[in-house]
């Protein structure tokens, strides 16, 4: 009865506010849905040539736009704001709807953290919420909002030092990110919906209602919170669990593209075909958030560099822009790139880059990269590893991981134009080259 009533009021509201919108409530059976991932820097001046797969790099506007983004927008704070241990750079945004009636929220999509949270009214004081274009989420306005009690299992799913018991036995969370961002508030439960082909609603989803929040992604004013897509217990992916067959995938369009990237859940997320390669996923129970895989080596042109570890040694992350590697591997790569291309190494590469070289003329031949994950050789399009910064300066989209306490990360620029599927039940990650502007 209760459920029916709520269903009806949501439905009636949607009908009265807009044209008929098909409404689907998620049940325990599996659901599939797709949402847009919007690059926060997505300009409407596209230039993208998907035929750029040879070993010749040109002075292309599209390549420069990546660099412009890296250099100007994030400038000096760039290397520090990287996702570790679970920080958010905020490259990609997605829409979710919270509550009854559903309120649209734009939030950062982050595979490097777990908690889903939004800024909630009231803020602890005037300076304890970052500015956003839309009003704060008001829990009083949602008929399905409830707080989670301190004794609830969901409260204890937060790491020990990230929850306390507040007034009225409400579970208080404190979630901190590696880049100094944090959110503090009530752990709560409410419906979370997605606008796919019609709304798909997941009642009783756990999220953080943040009353004291500080983030490094506050410059857009669009983002009102964050959606954690990690593998830990409170992440969106883990909460939807069986209902999405423990699967999601994304396909990231190049920076500057006029198209939106897609994030898919459930059967929609399954990638198939000849080009699909898969590697085992190793979730470490002491840091369950991260998608760890094993990188056996990297080929640079005809040479292969072996990684010196034989264990899950690199994190796949859509929230980190560049790729971070073991310093010795990075140095070997630099040597090979220098040897096999007609570039002159520059002494002080512009931030945030770790290696750049000058070239003559309108283009330069550079070696192609293949990442050898266990069981999955991933050959990267040239623009996933190189960018042309100014007239004749080419830079690698790679950095040594010295700032990350030795943690290697396969970042989002390396993953552009691949379908990347995470199967948390089958414990594997699959890659398939794709033109992400054409995937729906
Ligand atoms: C918000 O949290 C920060 C960090 O823990 C703390 O320093 C500050 O006092 C809090 N603000 C309020 C109003 O509670
Ligand atoms: C909450 O509901 C009240 C009354 O319907 C409305 O005036 C107000 O704008 C709502 N606030 C938010 C933040 O949605
Ligand atoms: C929400 O309701 C509670 C009690 O009903 C009230 O104390 C609180 O001030 C309200 N919050 C807002 C933001 O209106
Ligand atoms: C809390 O956690 C339990 C067990 O993990 C789960 O069954 C329940 O649905 C969760 N949600 C709420 C709102 O309590
Ligand atoms: C973003 O947050 C920082 C640090 O809290 C603050 O100095 C800055 O003014 C904020 N920017 C915006 C646009 O709110
Ligand atoms: C880019 O997108 C905008 C808005 O969707 C559209 O008006 C414009 O025609 C598009 N440009 C190109 C070149 O596709
Ligand atoms: C899990 O992480 C811990 C701490 O980083 C590490 O000591 C341990 O070796 C890891 N376990 C596996 C199986 O990789
Ligand atoms: C790589 O090997 C191929 C075939 O053996 C050869 O034709 C090519 O010149 C080599 N490239 C480099 C950069 O050494
Ligand atoms: C890595 O370990 C696996 C199993 O432990 C083994 O089969 C494989 O040969 C090892 N690879 C290397 C390069 O040591
Ligand atoms: C990956 O590439 C390496 C080196 O070229 C080759 O030895 C290996 O068999 C390939 N693995 C797969 C799974 O294709």
pLDDT band at 19 (very low <50, low <70, confident <90, very high): very low
* Percent of the chain as helix, strand, coil, to the nearest 5: 20, 40, 40
Pick from 87-91, 93-97, 231-235: least confident: 87-91
User: Is residue 152 within 6 Å of ligand 4 at its C-beta?
Assistant: yes
User: Is residue 140 within 6 Å of ligand 4 at its C-beta?
Assistant: no
In sequence order, which residues have a C-beta less than 8 Å from that of residue 267 and are 6 or more positions away?
Answer: 30, 32, 245, 247
What would the mean pLDDT of 209-220 be, rounded to a whole number? 88
pLDDT band at 90 (very low <50, low <70, confident <90, very high): low
Residue 120 CA, ligand 1 centroid: distance in Å:
15
pLDDT band at 180 (very low <50, low <70, confident <90, very high): confident
User: Quick check: 299 and 378 in contact, CB under 8 A?
Assistant: no
Alpha-carbon torsion angle 55, 56, 58, 63, nearest 10 = 10
Q: Alpha carbon of 242 to those of 27, 159, 162, 274, 427: distances in Å?
A: 10, 23, 26, 27, 14
DSSP 209-256: EEEEEE-TTTTSS---EEEE-SSSTTSHHHHHGGGGTTEEEEEPPPTT
Residue 202 has a CB neighbour count (10 Å cut-off) of 20
Residue 419: its pLDDT value, please? 96
Q: Is the pLDDT of residue 194 over 50?
A: yes
Residue 35 CA, ligand 5 centroid: distance in Å:
29
Residue 152: its pLDDT value, please? 96
Q: Is the pLDDT of residue 18 over 70?
A: no
Of the two residues 213 and 309, the one the predictor is more confident about is 213
What would the mean pLDDT of 155-169 be, rounded to a whole number? 91
Name the pTM for this structure. Answer: 0.84
User: Is residue 168 within 6 Å of ligand 3 at its C-beta?
Assistant: no
Residue 55 has a CB neighbour count (10 Å cut-off) of 13
Residue 134 has a CB neighbour count (10 Å cut-off) of 13
**pLDDT tens column, 302-359:** 999 999 777 889 999 887 888 999 999 999 999 999 999 999 999 999 888 899 999 9
By most ligand atoms within 8 Å of CB, the mutation choice from 177, 218, 220, 221 for ligand 5 is 218
Tokens of 95: 């829409």
Q: Is the pLDDT of residue 439 over 80?
A: no
Pick from 51-55, 98-102, 174-178: least confident: 51-55
CA 206, chain centre distance (Å):
20
- Secondary structure class of 240 (helix, strand, coil): helix
By most ligand atoms within 8 Å of CB, the mutation choice from 108, 127, 130 for ligand 5 is 130
User: Is residue 135 within 6 Å of ligand 3 at its C-beta?
Assistant: no
pLDDT band at 126 (very low <50, low <70, confident <90, very high): confident
By most ligand atoms within 8 Å of CB, the mutation choice from 159, 281, 283, 284 for ligand 7 is 284
- Strands 408-410 and 344-345, how do they pair? unpaired
User: Is residue 299 within 6 Å of ligand 8 at its C-beta?
Assistant: no
Residue 91: its pLDDT value, please? 72
What would the mean pLDDT of 93-112 be, rounded to a whole number? 93
Residue 351: its pLDDT value, please? 81
Q: Which of 114, 179, 186, 317 is catalytic?
A: 317
Ligand 5, closest atom to CA 219?
A: 13
Query: Hunting for tokens 């506050």 — which residue is that?
Result: 218
User: Is residue 340 within 6 Å of ligand 8 at its C-beta?
Assistant: yes
Residue 30: its pLDDT value, please? 67
User: Is residue 204 within 6 Å of ligand 4 at its C-beta?
Assistant: yes
Residue 124: its pLDDT value, please? 87
Of the two residues 24 and 120, the one the predictor is more confident about is 120
Ligand 3, closest atom to CA 138?
A: 13
Of the two residues 407 and 403, the one the predictor is more confident about is 407
- Residue 263's nearest CA partner among 84, 102, 110 is 110
Residue 57: its pLDDT value, please? 54
pLDDT band at 80 (very low <50, low <70, confident <90, very high): very low
Pick from 57-66, 127-136, 170-179: least confident: 57-66
Residue 62 CA, ligand 1 centroid: distance in Å:
42
Cβ-count burial 247-283 (b if 16+ within 10 Å, e if not): bbbbbbbbbbbebbbbbbbbebbbbeeeeeebbbbeb
Q: Is 317 a catalytic residue?
A: yes
User: Is residue 176 within 6 Å of ligand 1 at its C-beta?
Assistant: no
Q: Which residues line ligand 10 (CB under 6 A)?
A: 372, 375, 377
User: Is residue 138 within 6 Å of ligand 2 at its C-beta?
Assistant: yes
User: Is residue 141 within 6 Å of ligand 2 at its C-beta?
Assistant: yes
pLDDT band at 181 (very low <50, low <70, confident <90, very high): confident
Residue 216 CA, ligand 5 centroid: distance in Å:
8
pLDDT band at 377 (very low <50, low <70, confident <90, very high): very high
Pick from 35-49, 85-99, 245-259: least confident: 35-49
- Strands 323-325 and 344-345, how do they pair? unpaired
Residue 312 CA, ligand 7 centroid: distance in Å:
9
User: In the chain, count of helices (H) and strands (E)?
Assistant: 6, 32
Tell me how many degrees the CA angle 418-78-112 measures, rounded to the nearest 5.
Answer: 50
Relative to the alpha carbon of 164, which ligand is closest? 1
By most ligand atoms within 8 Å of CB, the mutation choice from 55, 56, 301, 302 for ligand 8 is 302
Q: Is the pLDDT of residue 51 over 70?
A: no
Q: Is the pLDDT of residue 205 over 50?
A: yes
Residue 29: its pLDDT value, please? 54
Q: Is the pLDDT of residue 68 over 50?
A: no
Residue 238 CA, ligand 10 centroid: distance in Å:
32
Average pLDDT, the chain: 81
Pick from 52-61, 95-104, 159-168, 394-403: least confident: 52-61
Q: DSSP letter at 76?
A: G
Ligand 7, closest atom to CA 312?
A: 14
Q: Is the pLDDT of residue 420 over 90?
A: yes
Q: Please provide the distance, in angstroms rounded to a whole number, between the alpha carbons at the two ends of the chain.
A: 37
Of the two residues 12 and 287, the one the predictor is more confident about is 287
Tokens of 32: 């599939």
Q: Is 110 a catalytic residue?
A: yes
Q: Which residue is closest in CA terms to ligand 3's atom 2?
A: 140
Q: Is the pLDDT of residue 4 over 70?
A: no
Query: Hunting for tokens 């009806």 — which residue is that?
Result: 8
């Amino acid at each position: 009865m209760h459920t029916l009533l709520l269903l009806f009021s949501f439905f009636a509201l949607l009908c009265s506010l807009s044209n008929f919108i098909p409404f689907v409530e998620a049940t325990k059976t599996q659901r599939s849905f797709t949402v847009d991932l919007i690059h926060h820097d997505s300009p409407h001046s596209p230039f993208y040539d998907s035929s750029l797969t040879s070993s010749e790099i040109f002075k292309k506007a599209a390549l420069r736009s990546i660099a412009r983004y890296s250099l100007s927008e994030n400038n000096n704070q760039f290397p520090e704001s990287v996702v570790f241990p679970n920080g958010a750079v905020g490259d990609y945004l997605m829409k979710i709807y919270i509550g009854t009636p559903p309120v649209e929220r734009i939030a950062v999509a982050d595979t490097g953290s777990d908690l889903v949270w939004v800024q909630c009214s009231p803020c602890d004081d005037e300076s304890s919420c970052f500015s956003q274009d839309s009003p704060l989420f008001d829990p009083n306005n949602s008929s399905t909002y409830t707080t989670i009690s301190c004794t609830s299992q969901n409260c204890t799913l937060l790491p020990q030092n990230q929850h306390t018991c507040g007034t009225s036995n409400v579970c208080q969370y404190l979630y901190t990110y590696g880049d100094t961002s944090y959110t503090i508030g009530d752990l709560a439960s409410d419906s979370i919906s997605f606008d796919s082909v019609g709304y798909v609603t997941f009642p009783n989803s756990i999220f953080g209602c943040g009353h004291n929040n500080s983030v490094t992604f506050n410059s857009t004013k669009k983002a009102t919170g964050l959606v954690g897509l990690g593998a830990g217990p409170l992440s969106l992916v883990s909460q939807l669990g069986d209902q999405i067959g423990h699967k999601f995938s994304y396909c990231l369009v190049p920076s500057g593209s006029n198209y939106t990237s897609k994030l898919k859940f459930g059967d929609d997320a399954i990638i198939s075909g000849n080009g699909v390669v898969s590697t085992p996923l190793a979730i470490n129970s002491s840091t369950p958030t991260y998608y760890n895989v094993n990188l056996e080596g990297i080929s640079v042109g005809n040479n292969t560099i072996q990684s010196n570890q034989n264990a899950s040694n690199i994190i796949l992350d859509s929230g980190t822009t560049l790729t971070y590697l073991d310093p010795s591997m990075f140095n070997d790569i630099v040597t090979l790139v220098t040897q096999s291309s007609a570039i002159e190494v520059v002494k002080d590469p512009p931030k945030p880059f770790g290696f750049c070289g000058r070239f003559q003329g309108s283009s330069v031949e550079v070696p192609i990269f293949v990442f050898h994950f266990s069981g999955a050789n991933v050959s990267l399009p040239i623009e996933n590893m190189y960018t042309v910064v100014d007239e004749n300066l080419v830079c690698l989209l790679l950095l040594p991981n010295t700032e990350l306490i030795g943690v290697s990360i396969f970042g989002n620029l390396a993953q552009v134009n691949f379908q990347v599927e995470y199967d948390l039940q089958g414990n594997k990650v699959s890659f398939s080259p794709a033109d992400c502007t054409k995937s729906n």
